[in-house]
């Protein structure tokens, strides 16, 4: 069971994490050689892996906020929509940025992996307690 203190801390972390992801998603495009120019690292699909990991972390943080899986599921669906919205904003309004269907899919896969991880973690901890 998640106590109130952990839920409060997780809520603050979730808010700051949301602000960070929003900021990183909406800043202008990276120039060649910038730290955010992921092509320079030579790692295949690095951008997609980072999208997946970022949205998986959203759900893992939220796990400490929501006691009921039903509420976490609703938040997960909302996060999928949020990821789609940010990609749309990138493609329509941010100079130097492109919205990407593959990025949106990576975001949603990250949410799904996070939710499935929490689901099985909670089921396993219920069995052992």
Question: ∠ CA 92-103-69 to the nearest 5 degrees?
Answer: 110
Q: Tell me: the pLDDT tens digits for 59-118?
A: 999 999 998 999 999 999 999 999 999 999 999 998 888 899 999 999 999 999 999 999
Contact 65, 56 (CB under 8 A): no
In the predicted model, what is the mean pLDDT of residues 28-57?
A: 80
Query: Which pLDDT belongs to residue 4?
Result: 64
Query: Which pLDDT belongs to residue 12?
Result: 96
Statement: residue 3 has pLDDT above 60: no
**What is the chain's length?**
129
Say how far apart CA 115 and CA 87 lie, in whole Å. 21
User: Is this structure's pTM higher than 0.85?
Assistant: yes
Statement: residue 127 has pLDDT above 70: yes
Query: Which pLDDT belongs to residue 44?
Result: 72
Query: Based on C-alpha coordinates, what's the Rg of the chain?
Result: 16
Q: Tell me: the pLDDT tens digits for 21-30?
A: 999 999 876 6
Q: Which of 79, 53, 54, 85 minimizes the C-alpha distance to 66?
A: 79
In the predicted model, what is the mean pLDDT of residues 10-29?
A: 93
* Helix 4-26 vs helix 46-62: crossing angle, to nearest 10: 150
Query: Which pLDDT belongs to residue 97?
Result: 83
Query: Which pLDDT belongs to residue 62?
Result: 97
Domain parsing of the chain, residue ranges: 4-128
Contact 63, 72 (CB under 8 A): yes
- In the three-class reduction of DSSP (H, G, I as helix; E, B as strand; rest coil), residue 10 is classed as helix
């Amino acid at each position: 069971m998640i106590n109130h203190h952990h839920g409060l801390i997780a809520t603050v972390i979730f808010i700051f994490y949301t602000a960070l992801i929003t900021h990183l998603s909406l800043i202008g495009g990276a120039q060649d050689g910038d730290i955010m120019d992921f092509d320079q690292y030579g790692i295949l699909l690095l951008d997609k892996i980072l999208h997946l990991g970022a949205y998986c972390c959203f759900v893992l943080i939220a796990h400490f906020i929501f006691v009921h899986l039903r509420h976490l599921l609703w938040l997960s669906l909302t996060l999928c929509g949020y990821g789609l919205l940010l990609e749309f904003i990138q493609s329509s309004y941010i100079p130097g940025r492109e919205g990407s269907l593959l990025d949106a899919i990576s975001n949603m896969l990250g949410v799904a992996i996070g939710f499935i991880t929490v689901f099985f973690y909670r089921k396993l901890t219920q069995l052992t307690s």
